[in-house]
Structure 1
Amino acid sequence: MMYRGKHCPVCKGQLTELGSKLDEFTKRGINVVAASMDSEERAMVVDQEWETGDVPLAYDMSDETAREWGLYISEKREGSEEPDKFSEPGMFLVRPDGTLYFASIQNAPFTRPPLDDLLEGIDYITKNDYPTRGTLT
């Protein structure tokens, strides 16, 4: 999961929920990581102040890496506590062989896939050996 950073209350809610459901992902064989372009200092504040449980936090994601994932990049709004540049959110399921199965990329902080829907989807995929879709793009 890619999140916008410490400044984002929507991200805080999503990462808090993710922390509470981490065991649900783990028991399905999903290794979860939440990554942002935040500095180590800002990521440590997230780790200490948000209730993310044992969700591993990756930080200092470069512009280049964010763009390779297809993420939108935003710049700081005047007068905000946002960093100068940050990525907008994204959620990805990557197979063990490194191929992409699912991607959800947003250009704003809103309208993210509900985690319960994602868990149900993972169960369906696993039970039905459901193939990756959108392969003709």
Structure 2
Amino acid sequence: MTNSVKITAGNIFPAIEATLLNGTTVDMSKAHSGADWQMIIVYRGKHCPLCVRYLNLLEEQQEALKAIGVSVSAISADSKAQLEGTMEQLSITYPIAYGLTEQQMQQLGLYISAPRSEQETDHNFAEPGLFIINDEGNTQAVNISNTPFLRPELDVVVRGLTFVRNQDDYPIRGTVTY
């Protein structure tokens, strides 16, 4: 087992270059669509029905997130062809990218899994992660899991972000070091 460095709350979030289905390369850490904060969802890939469900549930939160200035993007280690297959199961309007590399997974501190079989997928993949990047480019909130069934409830995330965004100078939590 190797050690992985976890993203630290309050630190600058790294630039994560990724490719959208239309071939556009984007920095996943940058807010878009008029928002000043960014939410990045890392999902396991096409082979994961829980991920597909989560991504579709996230679409239901888009209006509430837009209202508080938070844009959303999703990414996995899947290939372009695998993402095209996933899109058949999704009804989403936010950007979704493919090709997350193992180096990027490590940079984000994600858990990485090997496929159980070739029927599952043909590459190592990231377990779920959710990152909130504030208007200064700092990591405001982090949730990293080693399994697809331990994810934050999206309505709770949206309520929490709404609370934080409506406060004057709400601090980034979890920054005390020893």
- TM-score class, shorter-chain normalisation, is over 0.9
Matched, 1:9 2:49: yes
Given that 2:46 and 2:82 are in contact with CA atoms closer than 8 Å, whether structure 1 keeps it comes out as: yes
- What is the letter of the counterpart of residue 162 of structure 2? D
TM-score (norm 2): 0.72
* Structure-1 residue corresponding to 2:81: 41
The offset of 1:136, in angstroms, is: 2.3
Matched, 1:74 2:113: yes
Given that 1:88 and 1:106 are in contact with CA atoms closer than 8 Å, whether structure 2 keeps it comes out as: yes
The offset of 1:79, in angstroms, is: 5.2
* Structure-1 residue corresponding to 2:89: 50
Given that 2:61 and 2:158 are in contact with CA atoms closer than 8 Å, whether structure 1 keeps it comes out as: no
Output the aligned Cα RMSD.
1.3
Given that 2:45 and 2:125 are in contact with CA atoms closer than 8 Å, whether structure 1 keeps it comes out as: yes
**Could you tell me how far apart the structure 2 residues matched to 1:118 and 1:16 are?**
15
Range that drifts further, 7-16 or 124-133: 124-133
2:71 is aligned, of 13, 31, 51, to 31
Q: Which has the higher strand share?
A: 2
TM-score (norm 1): 0.93
Size of the aligned set, in residue pairs, is 136
* Structure-2 residue corresponding to 1:103: 142
**Could you tell me how far apart the structure 2 residues matched to 1:60 and 1:95 are?**
24
Given that 1:40 and 1:60 are in contact with CA atoms closer than 8 Å, whether structure 2 keeps it comes out as: yes
- What is the letter of the counterpart of residue 111 of structure 1? L
**Could you tell me how far apart the structure 1 residues matched to 2:150 and 2:75 are?**
18
Matched, 1:134 2:171: no
**Could you tell me how far apart the structure 2 residues matched to 1:19 and 1:52 are?**
7
* Structure-1 residue corresponding to 2:13: none
1:123 is aligned, of 162, 173, 176, to 162
**Could you tell me how far apart the structure 1 residues matched to 2:91 and 2:110 are?**
22
Give the percent of matched residue pairs that are identical in Structure 1 and Structure 2: 36
Q: Which has the higher helix share?
A: 1
